[in-house]
Amino acid sequence: MLRLTRRAEYGLMAMAFLAGRSESHISVREIGNNLAIPKRLLAEVLKDLARGGLVEGARGPNGGYRLLAEPELLPLGRVVEVLEGPIHVADCADGGSCEHESGCAIQHGMRFVAGRIKQVLDQSTLSDLLESAPAAAPTPPPQRMPV
């Protein structure tokens, strides 16, 4: 239904929160208190982000999570993929396969549209999300599909 999951959004909110204080580790409890998100679920999301290498977890007192990537260089698509898996607007898009692939008249066009959507996420960075002006920077050049 062309919609981000809660997990992805919680993850983005958490990453954005961490982007501010990257000096020390911040606990799930503190993040959750600030973002009004179910803490237990937020913990699960952060675990996944840690597995994906986007944040670093530290146990024990004074433990928590710390941002690893640089906000200016971290595409939102990366975060989404870590939390939701590969982004496939349509089955055939981005390396995926579809049973209708042979003989689907819109396949080519579909792939292109799906690619453009993925581009939006790949060209917006975490810092863009915070500056509330994502993709203002790169603005892709005019693109024509290779026929």
Partner DNA sequence: TTGAAGAGCATGAGATTAGTGCTAAATTAG
Partner DNA sequence: CTAATTTAGCACTAATCTCATGCTCTTCAA
Map the footprint of DNA across residues 9-48, applying CB under 7 A.
27-29, 38, 40-41, 43-44, 46-47
Number of residues that bind DNA (CB under 7 A): 26
110 binds ligand SF4 (CB under 6 A): yes
130 binds ligand SF4 (CB under 6 A): no
Map the footprint of ligand SF4 across residues 24-83, applying CB under 6 A.
none
- Residue 129: contacted member of its own copies, ligand SF4, DNA, none (CB under 5 to 8 Å, by partner type): its own copies
Q: Is 2 exposed, middle or buried (0-12, 13-18, 19+ CB in 10 A)?
A: exposed
Stated as kind and residue range, the H or E segment containing 58 is strand 55-58
Map the footprint of ligand SF4 across residues 81-100, applying CB under 6 A.
90-92, 98, 100
Backbone CA torsion sign across 92, 97, 99, 100: positive
Q: Give me the residues paired with residue 64 across strands.
A: 58
What is the C-alpha separation between 91 and 99, in angstroms, rounded?
Answer: 9
Instruction: Tell me the window of 14-22, 42-50, 76-84, 101-109 that interacts with ligand SF4 (CB under 6 A).
Output: 101-109
- Residue 67: contacted member of DNA, ligand SF4, its own copies, none (CB under 5 to 8 Å, by partner type): none
Q: What x/- string results for residues 80 through 119 when contact with DNA is judged by CB under 7 A? A: ----x-----------------------------------
Contacts of residue 55, Cβ cutoff 8 Å, sequence gap at least 6: 15, 18, 46, 49, 65, 66, 67, 68
Q: Is 23 exposed, middle or buried (0-12, 13-18, 19+ CB in 10 A)?
A: exposed
